[in-house]
Amino acid sequence: MYEALYSQGLGYYSAGSIKFGRDGDFVTAPEVSTVFGRVLARQCAEVLVQIDNGEVLEFVAGSGKLAVDVLSTLEAQGVLP
């Protein structure tokens, strides 16, 4: 499986073609709109204001757009960890 995904020049993720987004193989909610990230950030904010030293971790493969949307929204709300 590792070779199929990451083999130099041949693997799915290392062959150089676009994987994410409208021109790739699939589109995820964060790539379509900022709405998903903003809604998720609101849920995170509810928790962050109730705990000390909270953190937000993203365990998702992708372009990083979800993290940008969530962190931007948390910053705008004044609850960026």
pLDDT 10s digits, 66-76: 999 999 999 99
CA separation for the pair 48, 30 (Å, rounded) = 22
Both structure tokens of 66? 């979800």
Using alpha carbons, list the distances in angstroms from residue 39 to 9, 29, 30, 36: 38, 12, 11, 5
Average pLDDT of the segment spanning 2-26: 79
pLDDT 10s digits, 16-32: 776 666 777 777 888 88
pLDDT 10s digits, 39-64: 999 999 999 999 999 999 888 767 88
pLDDT number for residue 64: 87
